[in-house]
Amino acid sequence: MPHPKRKISKSRRDKRRTHDKAVVPTLTTCKTTGAVHLPHRAYVVDGNTYYNGKLLIEKAAVA
């Protein structure tokens, strides 16, 4: 089995890992409904689907 020729230092290893981290998603608040959602995504409030503050799909009446 091949082995590394030289030890990789801790600083070199850590430099490689600088971009491997958890990122908090950016959230926006709808002006119409006040719901917190991901930007540029459709979201559901009380069964109604909204996008960009506009009602897309209204919840069907429950029979």
CB 4 within 8 A of CB 12: no
User: Does the predicted model carry a pTM greater than 0.75?
Assistant: no
Q: Please state, in angstroms and rounded to a whole number, the distance separating the CA atoms of residues 35 and 50.
A: 10
Condensed to tens digits (0 to 9), the pLDDT of residues 7-53 reads: 999 999 999 999 999 989 999 999 999 999 999 999 999 999 999 99
- Residue 6 has a pLDDT of 94
- Residue 62 has a pLDDT of 52
Domain boundaries defined on the chain: 23-63
**28-29 and 54-57 strand pairing:** unpaired
User: Tokens 């799909």 sit at which residue?
Assistant: 57
